[in-house]
Amino acid sequence: MGETPSDGRGDDDAHRDRWSRLPSGRGPTPAADADDGSSIPIDGDVLLYTGATASVGPERIEPLLRTAQAFLRERAATYRRRYESAFVDDERRILLVPEGHWNEVGDELGLPEREVDAVRRAHAQQLRRLGSKTDRREEFETGLEIREAVVLGD
């Protein structure tokens, strides 16, 4: 009584399978099923990190980031004018915005606090990852102490 049916695999195998559905590539993740054909400008390993550290299921990460990206895309020109670009390359632009930004976006989109936190984590982790690759990690960490990161696809 109260037992969960087993598929014959150990917990480690089931845990690995849970994460295997997320992309593991290094570049931005294609959003093949996104309405506008765009991609999520966040690297696959950042998605894996976010899925492992956020309090939402890993299957929710990409849909959340697509929703956030659609919101940002509609306001991209305003973001570019208003906020400092911390990093720009051919695939994305990362801006530093005031603390509380993602809470405001989450309110507008009707997202629960855990989902807002997952989106915030993904954007901040992408900045950290690029900081490590470009030897600017300390600079970006300092920026994240007082601001939040927003990753816009370019």
Q: Where are the domains of the chain?
A: 26-153
Question: Averaged over 14-42, what is the pLDDT?
Answer: 46
Residues in Cβ contact with 12 at an 8 Å cutoff, skipping those fewer than 6 apart: none
Can you give the pLDDT at residue 38?
54
Bigger pLDDT: 21 vs 81 = 81
Is 34:63 a contact under the CB 8 Å cutoff? no
Report pLDDT digits (tens) over 33-85.
344 445 799 999 999 999 999 999 999 999 999 999 999 999 999 999 999 99
Helix (H) or strand (E) holding 124: helix 113-133
Bigger pLDDT: 26 vs 95 = 95
Can you give the pLDDT at residue 24?
36
Q: How confident is the model at residue 32 (pLDDT cuts 50, 70, 90)?
A: very low
Given a cut of 70, whether residue 4 has pLDDT beyond it is no
Given a cut of 90, whether residue 20 has pLDDT beyond it is no
Given a cut of 90, whether residue 3 has pLDDT beyond it is no
Is 93:154 a contact under the CB 8 Å cutoff? yes
